[in-house]
Amino acid sequence: MKSVLKWTSLGIFFFLACAAFVVSFGNEGDHWTTMDLEQGRAVDSGDIETRIAPQRPTSGVVWGTVQATPGAEPVTPPASTPPASIPATPAPATPTPTAPTAPAAPALPGTTPTPLNLPSPVPITPGASATPALPGGAAPAPTAPALPSTTPSLPAPTVATLQPLPLPAARTVTPGMYLLQSARQRGSTDLVETLLEVTGEAIQITSDLRETRERMEVVAGFRYEERVEQFSLTGQLSSVRQYNLAKSRMRIGDNIRTPELSSNLQTIVGTLERDKVVLFSPHGSLRGEQLLLIEDIPGNTLTIDRLLPNKEVAIGESWTISESVLRSFLSVDAVLSSSVEAVLTAVADNMAMVEIIGDVSGIYLGATTEMSVRAQFQFDLEIKRINWLGAIIQETRSIGHVGPGLEHTARLQVKISPLDAPLTLTDATMATISTRPNPDVLQLQYDGGRGPWRFSHDRTWYVYQDDPQTTVLRKLVNGELVAQCNIADMGTVDVRTMTTLERFQQDLIAGLGNHFGRIAAAAEYEDQRGNRVFKVLLDGMVDDLALRWIYHLITDSNGRQTVVVFVVEASMLDQFSNADEVLLGTYRMGR
């Protein structure tokens, strides 16, 4: 779009409220406390790190701190966390498997960012042993604490459990080399825990063109069972997830949002399309904020195996992470340039540690983004699976068409526990799930917002502002701002004396003033719900920007009125087509 600011000067554009978010904290003694997402109770933030920490080798690797970019605060393990052990991931076997207890929900962290207990790379000299000894004869590094045994389990399957799928035949590995290639395949099932923490600033431009900065805090926790439907090292990917935790607390300034996945939509199908993961529920339409909650986070487990080189590598050997892999890993729309590389840093006790470092320039929802990525993941050489990933991502994002500018640091931890057999996603359950999307489930619902109206819309519309009197959406296609939709409550009138179509047109012309050019069309009709509708199309100019305003004045049988106006740049009219009629075809007044 040539001039978003010109639209803003007319009072047509509004600023993002729906993406603003919150975390509440308190301080008890020496520990920051936070709210457990699932139970709503205060828990020690140190517990988060113990639940998502990687399984540590018992010998041979030095574990320490991870520095983000130069000058950034290092991430260190909390001194107060007692060491314990995590049950080893079961190796492939033929005996009847048992269903492990589901991991506990990640708790919300405190104001001080929760430490990511990331291992530091071990310097290896050419020809050195693949399992270097600890310096000075130090004691082996402690193992990560066990998951609490009291955590509620996922429901046990009601049909006979499946035998574990056979892994591919073992391959001879060259001495000193390690095959980093996933053994994941159709039917593979995992329990996944993810914790995402974001702190920084949101940057916006006010209606009088002043820049404002507000503190931003985001915490999100996820727990789900994931079963692979399609798997390929380089081709099509798809899976089914059963969530039992998907919540966040988000804050920008004083604006608070707490989106979560509703219980009837916790079955989610994921597919990889054009290097981007697409998620939907086969049981109904998601709300926009629910889709953003589960889809637009880094480290998506459907594509996490694409970080592997799929070949034998030696300690110290590196490989480039492709732009297509980064697009799905970082959840961006496009990668413009990248210097991200991975290196195998250490191997001990059949655990390989890989470090990822580099910078990325990309596009997210039409905004440019610059990211500095520092991550590590752990690969189990016995079962050929990534079982833990931790990342620090520092991002600077420009102000976009549907969101504020951002300067923030994200801390991500993902723990993957492969299962011998599905717990809830059994063959019987999978037979009832449609993994092919239809237009209805791909639609998004506006039914839990603040405005007194309901409708559905496609995924190119984004809720931009939402309050009891006004809802604003913007239509974004391939990063281009195509249109804006404003919905406003006009109160109640006497249907016997309400305005006429002619008077409505005169009011609109007067409102546009010098920007008015012509009336392109006008009509009066009754919609499928019996509402009386005045529709007026007006063309005009804002400086050198040609615009079309499409007004709908909707009056129900009780005299309640709503105005819905679509603003489209003239050059985008073909792309916009009849998007107003499609959206209003589902529009209903009242909740």
Quick one: pLDDT at residue 127?
Answer: 33
Average pLDDT over residues 92-114: 36
Q: Determine, yes or no, domain membership for 105.
A: no
Average pLDDT over residues 379-404: 96
Average pLDDT over residues 252-271: 94
Claim to verify: residue 424 and residue 464 sit in the same structural domain: no
Strands (E), 206-333: 211-230, 238-252, 255-257, 267-273, 276-280, 286-287, 311-313, 318-320
Claim to verify: residue 312 and residue 417 sit in the same structural domain: yes
Residue 330, pLDDT above cutoff 80: yes
Residue 225: both structure tokens together: 């069972």
Claim to verify: residue 224 and residue 361 sit in the same structural domain: yes
Q: Rounded to the nearest 10 degrees, how much is the dihedral formed by the CA atoms of 489, 492, 493, 498?
A: 30
Model confidence at 20, pLDDT cuts 50, 70, 90, reads very low
Specify the number of domains making up the chain: 2
Q: What whole-number distance in Å separates Cα of residue 157 and Cα of residue 44? A: 33
- Quote the Cα angle for 147-150-155, to 5°: 95
Claim to verify: residue 482 and residue 576 sit in the same structural domain: yes
Residue 321: count other Cβ atoms within 10 Å of its Cβ: 22
Claim to verify: residue 414 and residue 456 sit in the same structural domain: no
Q: What whole-number distance in Å separates Cα of residue 296 and Cα of residue 79? A: 33
Claim to verify: residue 422 and residue 470 sit in the same structural domain: no
pLDDT in tens, 426-466: 999 999 999 988 889 999 999 866 778 999 999 999 999 99
Mark out the alpha helices in 246-314 (DSSP H runs). 288-295
Average pLDDT over residues 478-502: 93
272 close to 236: Cβ distance less than 8 angstroms = yes
Q: What whole-number distance in Å separates Cα of residue 356 and Cα of residue 340? A: 7
Pairing outcome for strands 31-35 and 26-28: antiparallel
Q: Determine, yes or no, domain membership for 379.
A: yes
577 close to 590: Cβ distance less than 8 angstroms = no
Q: Determine, yes or no, domain membership for 204.
A: yes
Q: What whole-number distance in Å separates Cα of residue 108 and Cα of residue 38? A: 10
Q: pTM, whole model, 2 decimals?
A: 0.74
Average pLDDT along the chain: 77
Q: Determine, yes or no, domain membership for 280.
A: yes
Write the CATH number for 1: 2.30.230
Average pLDDT over residues 529-549: 95
Quick one: pLDDT at residue 126?
Answer: 32
Q: What whole-number distance in Å separates Cα of residue 123 and Cα of residue 177? A: 17
Which one-letter amino acid corresponds to residue 282?
Answer: P
Claim to verify: residue 515 and residue 399 sit in the same structural domain: no
Task: Pick 24 or 546 by higher pLDDT.
Answer: 546
Claim to verify: residue 450 and residue 412 sit in the same structural domain: no
Q: Determine, yes or no, domain membership for 520.
A: yes
Quick one: pLDDT at residue 54?
Answer: 58
Average pLDDT over residues 258-274: 93
Write the CATH number for 512: 3.40.1000.10
Residue 37, pLDDT above cutoff 90: no
Pairing outcome for strands 286-287 and 444-446: parallel
Q: Name every residue whose Cβ is closer than 8 Å to that of residue 492 and which is 6 or more positions away in sequence.
A: 558, 559, 560, 561
Q: Determine, yes or no, domain membership for 57.
A: no
Claim to verify: residue 179 and residue 255 sit in the same structural domain: yes
- Quote the Cα angle for 439-296-401, to 5°: 85
pLDDT in tens, 200-244: 999 998 878 899 999 999 999 999 999 999 999 888 899 999 999
pLDDT in tens, 55-68: 554 433 333 333 33
Quick one: pLDDT at residue 422?
Answer: 96
Q: What whole-number distance in Å separates Cα of residue 261 and Cα of residue 248? A: 10
Q: Name every residue whose Cβ is closer than 8 Å to that of residue 494 and which is 6 or more positions away in sequence.
A: 559
List the one residue out of 413, 411, 415, 356 whose CA is nearest residue 380: 415
Q: Maximum distance among all alpha carbons in the chain?
A: 92
Pairing outcome for strands 351-364 and 334-338: antiparallel
- Quote the Cα angle for 272-394-324, to 5°: 25
Residue 183, pLDDT above cutoff 50: yes
Q: Determine, yes or no, domain membership for 26.
A: yes
Quick one: pLDDT at residue 209?
Answer: 86
Q: Rounded to the nearest 10 degrees, how much is the dihedral formed by the CA atoms of 493, 495, 501, 504?
A: -10
List the one residue out of 246, 245, 223, 227 whose CA is nearest residue 237: 227
Q: Determine, yes or no, domain membership for 67.
A: no
Claim to verify: residue 423 and residue 518 sit in the same structural domain: no
Final residue belonging to a domain, choices 400, 420, 436: 436
Final residue belonging to a domain, choices 397, 412, 436: 436
Quick one: pLDDT at residue 130?
Answer: 34
Using CB atoms within 10 Å of the CB of residue 9, give its burial: 0 to 12 exposed, 13 to 18 middle, 19+ buried: middle
Residue with tokens 């699932």, as numbered in its chain: 38
Final residue belonging to a domain, choices 367, 402, 436: 436
Claim to verify: residue 371 and residue 486 sit in the same structural domain: no
Claim to verify: residue 405 and residue 450 sit in the same structural domain: no
Quick one: pLDDT at residue 451?
Answer: 73
Q: Which domain holds residue 207?
A: 1-51+174-436
φ, ψ of residue 96 to 5 degrees: the values are: -60, 125
Average pLDDT over residues 278-306: 95
pLDDT in tens, 140-168: 333 333 333 333 333 333 322 223 333 33
Sign of CA dihedral 415, 320, 197, 38: negative
Model confidence at 36, pLDDT cuts 50, 70, 90, reads very low
Quick one: pLDDT at residue 275?
Answer: 84
Average pLDDT over residues 498-519: 95
Q: What whole-number distance in Å separates Cα of residue 488 and Cα of residue 471? A: 7
Quick one: pLDDT at residue 55?
Answer: 54
